[in-house]
């Protein structure tokens, strides 16, 4: 079990070493706004626990174990930023601080679900890569088809939303098209008309354009 401070610390080293290989403790102190003495203390502690390597003249690098912790926290942070900006509608400048608060306290399951709802984004709002998941959500695109390709009377379960446009994703979610939910296609109105869908107690008329973005796995 790693403390929140240690998680932030390892994530900071992850960022710095991506650019520079090994990083000096003075650079870490500057980035995290800590005293050199407390950085040295944290470095020694985490090196003793096997999270990082410390060579006096070369600097600090992450071990495989430390990288794993850092990648997990970076994944959470960047997915939460995406969620806050794309779905909640927060300004990009505010999303970083809010994600910093949330990233330590969200379960892995929720993080993977957010990723699924947003169609597995690979970059944060700033364009930095989101590290891949160690426990990927159930996702087999070969078995999913767009909702508007189901036949009248077919039932299925929403697997994900195949859409890059966050305004459309928001709209679909607000209408109830959330991964995991069961849907029944009642009728496709001819001549490119809407798709009538039964979703739990709800009846929804969805345009073809929107329906083509809802990916569904058919249930027998």
Interface residues toward Zn ion, by CB under 5 A:
96
Calculate the alpha carbon distances from 17 to 11, 28, 60 in Å: 10, 10, 8
Q: Which residue is nearest to Zn ion (CB)?
A: 96
The one-character DSSP state at 123 is B
Q: Which is nearer to Zn ion, 76 or 160 (CB)?
A: 76
What's the closest the beta carbon of residue 163 comes to Zn ion, in angstroms?
24
The Cα diameter of the chain in Å comes to 73
What's the closest the beta carbon of residue 88 comes to Zn ion, in angstroms?
15
Mention every residue, 6+ apart, whose C-beta is less than 8 A from residue 82. 118, 121, 124, 125, 130
Calculate the alpha carbon distances from 136 to 15, 104, 161 in Å: 23, 19, 16
Q: Which is nearer to Zn ion, 130 or 185 (CB)?
A: 130
Q: Which is nearer to Zn ion, 69 or 206 (CB)?
A: 69
Angle CA(214)–CA(216)–CA(220) in degrees, nearest 5?
155
What's the closest the beta carbon of residue 189 comes to Zn ion, in angstroms?
44
Q: Which is nearer to Zn ion, 5 or 174 (CB)?
A: 5
Pairwise CA distance, residues 46 & 58, whole Å: 17
Calculate the alpha carbon distances from 40 to 27, 47, 55 in Å: 12, 10, 12
Q: Which is nearer to Zn ion, 75 or 213 (CB)?
A: 75
Q: Which is nearer to Zn ion, 26 or 94 (CB)?
A: 94
What's the closest the beta carbon of residue 81 comes to Zn ion, in angstroms?
5
Nearest to 66 by CA among 23, 109, 118: 23
Helix (H) or strand (E) holding 6: helix 4-20
Local structure of 199: helix, strand or coil: strand
What's the closest the beta carbon of residue 202 comes to Zn ion, in angstroms?
36
What's the closest the beta carbon of residue 157 comes to Zn ion, in angstroms?
33
Within 10 angstroms of residue 123's Cβ, the number of other Cβ atoms is 11
């Amino acid at each position: 079990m790693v403390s929140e401070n240690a998680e932030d610390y390892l994530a900071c080293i992850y960022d710095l070493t991506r650019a520079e290989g090994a990083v000096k403790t003075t650079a870490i102190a500057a980035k995290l706004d800590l005293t050199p003495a407390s950085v040295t203390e944290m470095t020694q502690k985490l090196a003793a626990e096997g999270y990082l390597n410390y060579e006096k003249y070369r600097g600090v690098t992450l071990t495989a174990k430390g990288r794993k912790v850092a990648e997990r926290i970076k994944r959470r942070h960047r997915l939460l930023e995406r969620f806050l900006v794309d779905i909640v509608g927060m300004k990009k400048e505010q999303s970083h601080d809010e994600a910093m608060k949330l990233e330590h306290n969200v379960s892995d399951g929720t993080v993977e679900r957010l990723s699924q709802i947003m169609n597995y984004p690979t970059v944060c709002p700033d364009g930095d890569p989101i590290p891949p998941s160690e426990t990927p959500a159930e996702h087999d695109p070969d078995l999913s088809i767009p909702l508007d390709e189901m036949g009248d009377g077919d039932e299925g379960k929403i697997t994900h939303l195949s859409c890059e446009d966050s305004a459309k994703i928001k709209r679909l979610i607000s209408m109830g098209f959330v991964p995991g939910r069961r849907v029944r296609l009642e009728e496709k109105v001819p001549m490119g008309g809407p798709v009538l869908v039964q979703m739990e107690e709800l009846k929804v008329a969805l345009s073809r354009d929107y329906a083509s973005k809802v990916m569904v796995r058919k249930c027998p």
